[in-house]
């Protein structure tokens, strides 16, 4: 999986080179610990050393600096991808849910939507958590569960914002400075995916983030949301053609890695959609039918 992430980071860089990844940059990041740990995998930096990387940091027990970390703002990336696809002739239709995968004799031949049927030579199923219900219609089992995470965006305050991403390890909270905001993000909860969003979880994350980065205290919240990460039972994505169902290519189950792995996923499914080419080694462990067999 790490190899896929590295390959995908290279592809993110290539997209940035083409002007298609407007906020992508190598920032590095620090991981901080609030309590002492019994076993250390690697020697921790002291608070003073960590302050050298992030001057707005409050006292912590220790931490590490990871130089090979990249940051991007997700919506600007998705927007750039959509614009580029449209520029290449893709027709993008919003607000049109696919209700049914149409199949005939073991082949998918199109999709049914409330505004009509779309016939197609290939169908790529990439509907996040909702991919499971659609795949079930053609006999593919995708046992996905939603891993709910929260995002709270705080208004930027130049001079008081962190300068690099800070990961508060015990709480699994990430604080990322972006162009016009500071994003506080984290948590992974499993339960009924239709339950209401508990915004107090986001507020609790901001509280913790503000103890580690006191400059964040009292900031105006400019956006907040929660999202369901599509998680598979083995923690690996489901990418590729499904055995027994022709013309269907699946790309889902990325869990916490969907943004990192987006370019490499596109590369892998392109091989199935346009040019089957030589099968790569990862195809077997990513097979979308591995839970059906």
Ligand X SMILES: Cc1cc2nc3c(=O)[nH]c(=O)nc-3n(C[C@H](O)[C@H](O)[C@H](O)COP(=O)(O)OP(=O)(O)OC[C@H]3O[C@@H](n4cnc5c(N)ncnc54)[C@H](O)[C@@H]3O)c2cc1C
Question: Residue 49 class from Cβ within 10 Å (0-12 exposed, 13-18 middle, 19+ buried)?
Answer: middle
3 state SS of 227 = strand
Question: Residue 107 class from Cβ within 10 Å (0-12 exposed, 13-18 middle, 19+ buried)?
Answer: middle
Question: Residue from 34, 227, 246, 271 that binds ligand X (CB under 6 A)?
Answer: 227
Within 88-172, strands assigned E span: 100-104, 107-113, 116-119, 123-125, 145-155, 166-168
Q: Return the number of the residue (44 or 272) whose C-beta is nearest ligand X.
A: 272
Question: Residue from 21, 252, 264, 272 that binds ligand X (CB under 6 A)?
Answer: 252
Q: Return the number of the residue (49 or 69) whose C-beta is nearest ligand X.
A: 69
First to last CA, the chain: 22
CB of 118 to ligand X, least distance (A): 11
CB-nearest residue to ligand X = 258
Q: Which residues contact 105 (CB under 8 A, 6 or more apart)?
A: none
Is residue 102 within the footprint of ligand X (CB under 6 A)? no
Is residue 185 within the footprint of ligand X (CB under 6 A)? yes
- Bridge-based pairing of strands 62-66 and 29-33 is antiparallel
CB of 94 to ligand X, least distance (A): 9
Q: Return the number of the residue (52 or 235) whose C-beta is nearest ligand X.
A: 235
Contact range with ligand X by CB under 6 A, out of 44-52, 240-248, 251-259, 272-280 = 251-259
**Residue 247: Cβ within 10 Å count:** 19
Is residue 259 within the footprint of ligand X (CB under 6 A)? yes
**How far is it, in rounded angstroms, from Cα 185 to Cα 174?**
5
CB of 46 to ligand X, least distance (A): 27
Is residue 24 within the footprint of ligand X (CB under 6 A)? no
CB of 34 to ligand X, least distance (A): 21
CB of 193 to ligand X, least distance (A): 11
Question: Residue from 63, 177, 230, 288 that binds ligand X (CB under 6 A)?
Answer: 230
Q: Could you say which residues in the range 134-173 bind ligand X, by CB under 6 A? A: 149-151
Give the interface size with ligand X as a residue count (CB under 6 A).
21
Contact range with ligand X by CB under 6 A, out of 17-25, 32-40, 83-91, 123-131 = 123-131
Distances (CA, A) of 172 to 35, 87, 97, 108, 205: 14, 39, 33, 41, 9
CA atoms within 13 A on the CB side of 144: 32
Q: Return the number of the residue (62 or 186) whose C-beta is nearest ligand X.
A: 186
**How far is it, in rounded angstroms, from Cα 100 to Cα 247?**
15
CB of 92 to ligand X, least distance (A): 11
Is residue 97 within the footprint of ligand X (CB under 6 A)? yes
Question: Residue from 12, 130, 167, 290 that binds ligand X (CB under 6 A)?
Answer: 130
Q: Which of 184, 132, 134, 167 is nearest to 291 (CA)?
A: 132
Alpha-helical regions (H) of the chain: 2-17, 47-53, 74-87, 131-136, 199-212, 262-273, 283-286
Q: Return the number of the residue (198 or 256) whose C-beta is nearest ligand X.
A: 256
**How far is it, in rounded angstroms, from Cα 231 to Cα 251?**
12
Give the footprint of ligand X on this chain (CB under 6 A).
97-98, 126-128, 130, 149-151, 185, 227, 229-230, 252, 254-260
């Amino acid at each position: 999986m790490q190899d896929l992430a590295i390959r995908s980071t290279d592809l993110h860089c290539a997209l940035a080179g083409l002007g298609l990844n407007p906020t992508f940059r190598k920032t590095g990041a620090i991981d901080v610990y609030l309590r002492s740990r019994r076993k250390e995998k690697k020697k921790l930096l002291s608070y003073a050393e960590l302050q050298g990387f992030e001057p707005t940091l409050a006292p912590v027990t220790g931490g590490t600096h990871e130089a090979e970390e990249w940051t991007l703002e997700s919506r600007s990336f998705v927007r750039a991808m959509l614009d580029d696809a449209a520029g290449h002739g893709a027709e993008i239709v919003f607000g049109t849910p696919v209700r049914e995968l149409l199949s005939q004799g073991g082949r998918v031949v199109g999709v049914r939507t409330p505004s009509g049927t779309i016939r197609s030579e290939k169908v790529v199923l990439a509907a996040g958590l909702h991919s499971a219900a659609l795949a079930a219609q053609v006999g593919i089992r995708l046992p996905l569960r939603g891993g709910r995470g929260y995002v709270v965006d705080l208004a930027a305050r130049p001079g008081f914002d962190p300068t690099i991403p800070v990961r508060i390890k015990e709480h699994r909270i990430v604080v990322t400075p972006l162009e016009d905001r500071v994003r506080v993000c984290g948590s992974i909860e499993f339960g009924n995916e239709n339950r209401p969003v508990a915004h107090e979880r986001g507020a609790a994350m901001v509280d913790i983030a503000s103890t580690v980065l006191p400059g964040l205290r009292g900031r105006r919240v400019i956006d907040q949301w929660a999202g369901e990460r599509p998680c598979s039972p083995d923690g690996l994505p489901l990418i590729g053609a499904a055995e027994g169902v022709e013309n269907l290519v699946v790309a889902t189950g990325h869990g916490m890695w969907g943004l990192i792995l987006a370019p490499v996923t596109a590369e892998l499914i392109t091989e199935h959609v346009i040019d089957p080419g030589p099968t790569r080694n990862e195809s077997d462990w990513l097979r979308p039918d591995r839970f059906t067999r």
